[in-house]
Amino acid sequence: MGQYSLKEIAKELGVSRGTLDRVIHNRGGIGSETTDRVQTYLQSIGYKPNRVGRSLARMKEMLLYVSFHDTKNEFFKEIQAGLKAAENEIADFGFKVQFEDVSKSSASQIKCIREAMRNGMSGLALSPYEPDAAFEELVDEIVKSGVPVVTFNNDVVNCGRMAYVGINYYTSGRVAGEVLAKSVKSGSVAILRRSSSYFQNQQRITGFTEVIDSFEHIQVAGSFGGSADYDSAYKNTKRIIDTVPDLHGLLMLNNESDIITATCDAVSDSGLKPFDIVTFDLPSGCQREISNGRITATVCQDPFSQGYYCVKILFKYLLDECRPTKSLYSTRLDVIYKENLDSYNKELYRSFF
């Protein structure tokens, strides 16, 4: 296509430069008839805004601050891969993505975010430790200061965040319930949770329990606290097996590989057959136990896309002034069995982006 200046396009269409600029950057305030006419003409000449030129004219680096917790978990490696992929795509436009590890508390996470505010962050991608009132107030404060916020993996609903990228944990719990209810022929199932206060666990347990309660042949025996290491997880699982009558299944909410292995070892050593275990996500330990046939299935939530798209939404807003078209972007929920484990090729999936 040839090169067209905004002045030439505005003259051709008989509109002002201001009107043309508002349509190009989706700022609104222009009638639908004029908007349609301008957009049709822009498409006909193949016009694209000069994004690199705008980023150079801005003459400052844009810092996207990413706040996440529990980063030592294998699950975060997939999120970080998505963050890095997005960062590589936007680096030429003067954008930098900064991630800072925080300890496992809301207070420490909020402290780090406030420090990033003082250092001049341009946008915030947030996965809160707990989506409570403290984070609602913080997000509203940040948004009022002119900095956009996108949540991922864990949402903060009652606030001014621009969008959420992730799954519905209640729905993922229901999916796990359907899988386990169809695998266990009769008897009881137990829930192994990570923490009673963890929001994601609560949502998953609610969805799971509702589904199990709808089946007559199976019932939930209870929810049991998790463990911090292999030995305590092994002993905890053995205790549950010894105290819960007619136990034929487990829902595991802890996705750390050593805990997964310990739980499977305890079930195997107890000689319980048939026995089904359903868990979440796909760390190395889970992959190994699915291959060995000791885990029936796992429900995955596409962490790579969560990291990737939260950054790209902020980038598009800050560079193109284009708000996302919706407030919720649901990532994939995949149920992985032994039979389809090999086809769950992350590298092939990433090559799509």
CB 253 within 8 Å of CB 226: yes
The Cα–Cα gap between 150 and 143 comes to 10
Q: What is the pLDDT of residue 351?
A: 47
Reported as a single tens digit per residue, the pLDDT across 259-313 is: 999 999 999 999 988 899 999 999 889 999 999 999 999 999 999 999 999 999 9
With a CB cutoff of 8 Å and minimum separation 6, the contacts of 105 are: 129
Give the DSSP H/E element, type plus range, for residue 322.
Answer: none
Nearest to 83 by CA among 286, 304, 279: 304
The Cα–Cα gap between 263 and 289 comes to 10
Q: What is the pLDDT of residue 1?
A: 43
Secondary structure (3-state) at 262: helix
- The CA distances from residue 305 to 84, 229, 280, 353, in Å, are 11, 29, 17, 9
Which DSSP letter does residue 332 get?
Answer: P
Q: How far out from the chain centre does Cα 69 lie?
A: 13
Q: What is the pLDDT of residue 113?
A: 94
Nearest to 65 by CA among 142, 164, 129, 156: 142
Q: What does the block give as tokens for 255?
A: 């996705």
The Cα–Cα gap between 171 and 192 comes to 18
Q: How far out from the chain centre does Cα 109 lie?
A: 18
Rounded (5°) CA angle 232-224-70: 65
Q: What is the pLDDT of residue 246?
A: 92
Q: Phi, psi (5° rounding) for residue 35?
A: -60, -45
Q: What is the pLDDT of residue 347?
A: 46
Q: What does the block give as tokens for 150?
A: 């996108």
pTM recorded for the entire structure = 0.79
Q: What is the pLDDT of residue 280?
A: 95
Which DSSP letter does residue 182 get?
Answer: H
Q: Omega of the bond prior to 49 within 30 degrees of 0, cis?
A: no
Question: Roughly how many angstroms between the first and final C-alpha of the chain, as a whole number?
Answer: 26
The Cα–Cα gap between 261 and 269 comes to 12
CB 153 within 8 Å of CB 83: no
CB 256 within 8 Å of CB 286: no
Q: What is the pLDDT of residue 227?
A: 77
Q: What is the pLDDT of residue 49?
A: 66
| Strands 334-336, 297-300: pairing kind | antiparallel
- Within 13 Å and on the Cβ side, how many CA atoms surround 101? 7
Which residues of the chain, if any, have pLDDT below 50? 1-2, 56-57, 59, 347-353
Residue 187 backbone class (left: φ over 0; alpha: ψ -120 to 50; beta: rest): left
Secondary structure (3-state) at 227: coil
CB 231 within 8 Å of CB 263: no
